[in-house]
């Protein structure tokens, strides 16, 4: 699989309906808050992170495959047929998009870590670079 194929599979995976169960909330405002925080925001973050990975030619398919092995406790898998599979922890509806974001953040982390300038720690360089490219929100959610 190529990098583009993997990113396309991830996009299809993230674009699935979350399947939040309204009955578990009992209150519309709680449901909407969880949807925005755990479903909508990670999808927006994924789109941003995916674009950042896509345009970097030195991030290849193997780099992304390696990210699958380490991201989100290894619960996100790329199957041989190209599908992305997620093994839920507690509630898959609020976890699967976060797992995809974690994967792409790890891929970018490794990419930036390999280019750390002298006199800076990798963490300093990565958080500085990510903040400059994405802003404080994405950094606080995915680059801690």
Q: Where are the domains of the chain?
A: 3-142
Q: Is residue 85 helix, strand or coil?
A: strand
Distance CA 14, CA 122 (A): 29
Q: How far apart are the first and last CA of the chain?
A: 30
pTM of the model: 0.92
Is the CB of residue 93 less than 8 Å from the CB of residue 18? yes
Which range (20-24, 51-55, 69-73) has the least confidence?
A: 20-24
Distance CA 19, CA 126 (A): 34
Distance CA 55, CA 6 (A): 14
- Per-residue model confidence (pLDDT) at position 51: 98
φ, ψ for residue 10, nearest 5 deg: -65, -40
Write out pLDDT tens, residues 10-51: 999 999 998 888 887 888 888 898 889 888 999 999 999 999
Average pLDDT of span 119-144: 96
């Amino acid at each position: 699989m190529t990098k583009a194929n993997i990113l396309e599979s991830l996009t299809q995976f993230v674009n699935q309906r979350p399947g939040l169960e309204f009955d578990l909330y009992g209150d519309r405002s709680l449901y909407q808050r969880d949807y925005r925080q755990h479903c909508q925001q990670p999808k927006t973050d994924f789109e941003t992170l995916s674009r950042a990975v896509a345009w970097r030619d030195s991030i290849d398919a193997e780099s992304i495959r390696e990210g699958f092995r380490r991201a989100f406790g290894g619960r996100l898998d790329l199957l041989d047929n190209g599908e992305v599979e997620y093994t839920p922890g507690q509630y898959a509806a609020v976890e699967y998009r976060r797992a995809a974001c974690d994967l792409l953040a790890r891929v970018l982390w490794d990419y930036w870590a390999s280019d750390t300038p002298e006199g800076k720690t990798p963490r300093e360089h990565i958080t500085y670079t990510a903040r400059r490219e994405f802003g404080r929100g994405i950094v606080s959610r995915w680059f801690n």
